[in-house]
Structure 1
Amino acid sequence: MHICHTKQKVAHFGLLLTKLSKLAHSDLGLNDWFNSPYFHQLYFQRDGQEAEAFIVRLLERLTPAADARILDVACGRGRHSRTLADKGFDVSGIDISPESIDHALQFANDKLHFYQHDVRLPFWINYFDLAFNFFTSFGYFRTEREHYNAIRTIANSIRPNGTFVIDYVNTHYAEDHLVHKTEQEIGGVNFYLTKWFDETHFYKKIQIEDEALREPLVYLEKVAKFSLGDFNDMLAFHQLQVQEVFGDYDLGRYDVRKSPRLIIVASKVLR
């Protein structure tokens, strides 16, 4: 009896891992999560003042022209795009999620534009002065080629001598400081997060319990463990040259083990 019960548990666990593996390799599963209201409820409770302060520091460092055109890649519902537009810049935000763009469009105006777009596919050419990708909104694609295609789209979209800034997790720091299990209650919804990693990716299982749901929802995030060297290779391949690297939102010096973030500033250099 005990052996039978153990076999059932092992089989159930194996089935769960199979489902999670399929979900991790499914664009549909990933898009379902990005389009979910729970995604925004979980991630966009972060301190808006901290995010705005980071953007202001970047702008002070980069000193773009007052009429600069800025591309916000993976803009979500447009919060950071709106911050940039409030500074007087002409801002275009793109995101793969139609639901996020539908929400963002309510804020659109002559200086603020939103488009539902997959960054792996070509966008405008030699149009923007700066492109931003904030808060680890990269690394979710299945293959290296898809990530290279995304960088190609961004590189092609900015003008010669234009600037691209990508804000990513410092994978070395994250490995050393990973909290494997956490629970959060946000607006009456319970989020149970389980995190782990292997040689190439970080994983996060999100289980959601809400009285409005008949049963818990489970999503899986899978983010590539890109290092500074990996980014340097991807950027250089598309004529983007690393100029500066920061390790936190105060734009402190990058330390491979001590810095929580990997913030890269690159310029488009034509050979």
Structure 2
Amino acid sequence: MHKDPWYQEWFDSPYYQILYFQHNLAEAKQFIENLLTRIQPRPGSFVLDVACGRGRHSRILESRGFDVTGIDLSESSIQFARQFENEHLHFFRHDMRLPFWMNYFDLAFNLFTSFGYFESTRENENVIRTIANSLRKDSMLVLDYLNVHYAMAHLVAQEEKIIEGVLFKINRWYDEKFFYKRIEVIPPDKSQPQTFTEKVRKFYFGDFNEMFSYRKLQVIEIFGDYSLNPFNKNESPRLVLLAKKYVH
């Protein structure tokens, strides 16, 4: 029997939203504000939010005066996001491995480790292709990923959280190529538990630099956290890349 990929099953689950997106909104807003202050995009810029989920970051960006398009594979997330659509905010269900609008956007965001989900290197490279091809010349990409070195050194193997009465039992581990997170979900009524397993590729800065270069994206700044402090391989929790599209 065919089984959906882990990300399709998990991202469409209401428990995914409870675990990740019912909190840290203030942190997300501040991160985006810090990025906009640094980048200084012109008012009315066309912005692409790749793997936008329910659109919380897209909505923040639209509220700052940009024309924002969000894309995501999750049908339920896009349906939710569409209630917020207006003249300058639009959402589409779209697989980020496949081409989207060409040479259209001034700025693209891929935030909060919304990358590295796919089994093959080619599939992940295709995401970079989609983003790069969607950008105009001299446009910018912000890609926010985990710092592999830090994540391995600070891995919490087991953890339990109770959010909105739901118990999440979390186990984490890694191998040579991937980080894994197995999440057992126990509803408030203690009914049938569900188990989901996340799997994210271990991409280092050198990997991104190679993928970017092939698609005419040049890294111009590297940050190590959401306050945009300088990146340190051993001490930074994040790898935040600011890249510019160039054309020979």
TM bucket (normalised to shorter chain) is: over 0.9
Find the partner of 2:113 among 125, 136, 141. 136
Of residues 179, 193, 197, the one that matches 1:220 is 197
- The ranges of structure 1 where at least 4 consecutive aligned residues each deviate by more than 2 angstroms after the TM superposition are 26-30, 211-214
Match of 2:219 among 242, 255, 265: 242
- Alignment-derived partner of residue 208 in structure 1: 185
Count of aligned pairs between the two proteins: 248
Gaps of 5+ in 2: none
CA distance in structure 2 between the aligned counterparts of 1:239 and 1:27, rounded to whole angstroms: 33
Work out the CA distance in 1 between the residues paired with 2:163 and 2:23: 12
Q: Is the 8 A contact 2:140 2:242 kept in 1?
A: yes
Can you list the C-alpha shifts for 1:121-142, whole angstroms capped at 9, x where unaligned?
A: 0000000000000100101011
Q: Does 1:183 align with 2:183?
A: no
C-alpha distance in structure 1 between counterparts of 2:112 and 2:158, whole Å: 21
Indicate the residue corresponding to 1:36 in structure 2. Answer: 13
SS at match of 1:65: coil
Following superposition of structure 1 onto structure 2, how do residues 73-112 of structure 1 map, counting pairs within 5 Å? 73-112=50-89
The 2-side partners of 1:79 and 1:30 are apart by 19
* Structure with larger Rg: 1
Query: How far does residue 46 in structure 1 lie from its aligned partner after superposition?
Result: 2.8
Residue 32 of structure 1: CA displacement? 1.0
SS at match of 2:98: coil
**What secondary structure is seen at the aligned counterpart in 1 of 2:68?**
strand
> C-alpha displacement at 1:214, in angstroms?
3.6
With 169-178 and 43-52 compared, the bigger mean Cα shift is at 43-52
Task: Please tell me whether residue 67 in structure 1 is matched to residue 44 in structure 2.
Answer: yes
Please give the TM-score of this superposition, normalised by the length of structure 2. Answer: 0.97
Give the aligned residue type for 2:76: E
- What value does the CA root-mean-square deviation take over the aligned residues? 1.4
**Is the 2:158–2:172 contact (alpha carbons within 8 Å) kept by the matching residues of 1?**
yes
What residue is the counterpart of 1:5 in the other structure? none
State the 1:215 CA deviation.
1.5
Q: What secondary structure is seen at the aligned counterpart in 2 of 1:229?
A: helix
Give secondary structure in 2 for the equivalent of 1:41.
helix
Q: Secondary structure at the match of 2:5?
A: helix
- Tell me what 1:198 maps to: 175
Output one character per residue of 1:214-268: Cα deviation in whole Å (capped at 9) or x when no partner: 4210000000010000000111111101000000000000000000000000000
Pick aligned residue for 2:30 from 46, 53, 64: 53
Q: Which amino acid aligns with 1:133?
A: N
Letter in 2 for 1:193: I
Q: Report the Cα distance in structure 2 between the residues aligned to 1:168 and 1:28, rounded to whole angstroms.
A: 21
In structure 1, stretches of 5+ residues that fail to align are: 1-21
Pick the aligned partner of 2:231 from 254, 260, 266: 254
Contact kept in structure 1, 2:68 and 2:89, CA below 8 Å: yes
Give the corresponding residue for 1:269: 246
One-letter amino acid of the counterpart of residue 192, structure 1: K
More helix by share: 1
Alpha-carbon distance in 1 for matches of 2:110, 2:161:
26
**Inter-CA distance 212–35: structure 2 relative to 1 (3 Å threshold):** farther
Please give the alpha-carbon distance, in whole angstroms, between the structure 1 residues aligned to 2:112 and 2:43: 25
Identity, % of aligned pairs? 52
